[in-house]
Structure 1
Amino acid sequence: MHVEIVSPEATLYSGEITAVTAPGSDGSFQILSAHAPLVATLAAGEIKIQGVASLEGEQASKFSSVGQGIYSLSIQSGTLEVKNNKIIVLAD
């Protein structure tokens, strides 16, 4: 599945992944392939993307590695949309 993580300044990540874990306003949740359409608000916390081969350049400076193929990004708030196996995260 494809994910785009966008901040007001730039696209922080765009690529194929196997899962996303996000800090929802009502608690943490995970999105896997073929998830039903969804729009959710995000609270302060960590977005984790799984199944990433590696991050390079500026992408690597924004994320922290938390395991093999798993990277996290701190956010203050945001919105997440899932539609047609594509995830768009608008993050602050």
Structure 2
Amino acid sequence: MFLEIVSPEAILFSSEVDSITVPGIDGDFQMLNNHAPIVSILREGVVKVHVHSQQHLELDKLKGKFIPHSDDNNVLTLAINSGTLELKDNKAIILAD
């Protein structure tokens, strides 16, 4: 699926990913390819982005906000205060604050 994470200042992330885990209002949930369409409000927490590899990513261009997960280099984490998620047709957009 394709993921784009946008903040008020810039596009923070734009790439193909394997899965996304987000902090929903009722708890964390994960989305994989071909997930049903969804719109959700996000609470304060951590967005986890699972990429197939970091070879195609330039971490210095990710605005220094993404941190590789300590247990898995293919999982990038981003702390958010709040946000909104829309997923449709294997394209996810997160408006993060």
TM range (shorter): over 0.9
Please list every run of 5 or more consecutive structure 1 residues that lacks an aligned counterpart in the other structure: none
**Identity, % of aligned pairs?**
48
- When the two structures are superposed, what TM-score results if normalisation uses the length of structure 1? 0.95
**C-alpha distance in 1, partners of 2:29/2:61?**
27
The offset of 1:51, in angstroms, is 1.7
Q: What is the CA distance between 1:61 and its match in structure 2?
A: 1.2
Is residue 81 from structure 1 mapped to residue 82 from structure 2 by the alignment? no
Q: TM-score with structure 2 length normalisation?
A: 0.90
The farther-off stretch of 61-70 and 73-82 is: 61-70
Structure-2 change in CA distance of 1:62 and 1:46 (3 Å): same
5 Å matches for 1:1-92?
Answer: 1-54=1-54, 55-56=57-58, 57-59=60-62, 61-66=64-69, 67-92=72-97
Distance 1:52 1:44 in 2: 26
Distance in 2 between the 1:60 and 1:70 partners? 17
What is the deviation of 1:9? 0.3
Runs of at least 5 residues in structure 2 that lack an aligned partner in the other structure? none
Deviation of 1:60 (Å)? 6.1
Q: Distance in 2 between matches of 1:91 and 1:73?
A: 10
Counterparts of 2:27 and 2:3, CA distance in 1:
20
SS at structure 2 position matched to 1:90 = strand
In the comparison of the two structures, how many residue pairs are matched?
92
